[in-house]
Structure 1
């Protein structure tokens, strides 16, 4: 006795009907996003500023390495949260 199964067609937004493989990702790859570039520039800026700020006027180093790495940690937490929000509701088509 033959069983009729619905045809597997893709919807216009790249999503597929039940039973067919998924054709979309949740979001862009992380290295393709602008927030990744901004994150890298900000981390580099903090580390360079920490390196360049020194004991020029006799007050001592006012931007120590531990403070710089604390700011890098805060930037990383912000970046992780932004990626989580990006993955929460956007989709990108697979290139098949």
Structure 2
């Protein structure tokens, strides 16, 4: 399962309980910048593996992510701020996930 999770823009406390729960329960979290995402996750004591996924990620990396999803892993994807898919590399991954 792939969960698309919106993150706060500016204030770390502007996040939903559901988003915190999903991030806490995911097998891994896909993020644009692991350093930026770590600030948010540390604020909520969320300790999940982070996987860098950004505009320069290769098609091979997308295939690895798809393989993990097909194997039954629950992956969450977040952007540096806001909702993934607005101005980040989510489109290529979603297109491939829909095909799979």
Instruction: Tell me the TM-score range normalised by the shorter chain.
Output: under 0.3
- Higher-Rg structure is 1
**Between Structure 1 and Structure 2, which shows a larger proportion of strand residues?**
2
Relative contact order: is structure 1 or structure 2 higher (C-alpha 8 Å, sep ≥ 6)? 2
**Between Structure 1 and Structure 2, which shows a larger proportion of helix residues?**
1
> Under a length normalisation based on structure 2, what TM-score does the superposition of the two structures give?
0.24
> Under a length normalisation based on structure 1, what TM-score does the superposition of the two structures give?
0.25
